[in-house]
Amino acid sequence: MFAVSDTTPLRYLVAIGQQDLLPRLFGRVAIPLAVHDELQGSGTPQVVLAWATHLPEWLTIQEARGDIQFPRELHRGERETILLALELSPDFALIDDRAGRQFALGLGLPVLGTLGVLEQADRAGWIDDFPATLNALRASGFFVAAPLYQLLLSRHQERTKG
């Protein structure tokens, strides 16, 4: 499998120390130049900045090409992620932003977000403590609405019933 990622999934997975789930799930991940720039922008947590200066082998930076009409609310990273995904046809485009996800889905791209990555990894048995991981994600600043949080915990409990 292969994925193209926007900034947010990488930023938050690195922040909670779960970035190694990405190569386990997808093998390799590509990011556009805009995402690499955003990972090194002001306000980025130090752990993410350090990670972004020494990228792992499974992550490649590629120039996004193409030109399509995007909604105004999409930022450069989302636009370039979608362009790169259209070009490379990955198994998933990793996007958290609602408008970005909807636009990508409208173009026929398969989309997965940070929570989906964590849930797939939990299904595979690669997360030791899923509730603690969700709590770490929320503590890092990632917003998870209470009903969604409860749904994720409920699905985890169903998966782990023995």
Q: Which residues contact 143 (CB under 8 A, 6 or more apart)?
A: none
Res 80: pLDDT: 98
Res 66: pLDDT: 87
pLDDT digits 0-9 by tens, 7-23 = 999 999 999 999 999 99
Q: Which H or E run contains 59?
A: strand 59-62
Q: Which residues contact 53 (CB under 8 A, 6 or more apart)?
A: 40
pLDDT digits 0-9 by tens, 37-92 = 999 998 899 999 999 999 999 999 999 998 899 999 999 999 999 999 999 999 99
| DSSP state, residue 11 | H
CB 80 within 8 A of CB 86: no
Asked whether the whole model's pTM tops 0.85, one would answer yes
**Which domains, ranges and CATH numbers included, belong to the chain?**
2-115 (3.40.50.1010), 128-160 (no CATH)
Largest CA distance in the chain: 50
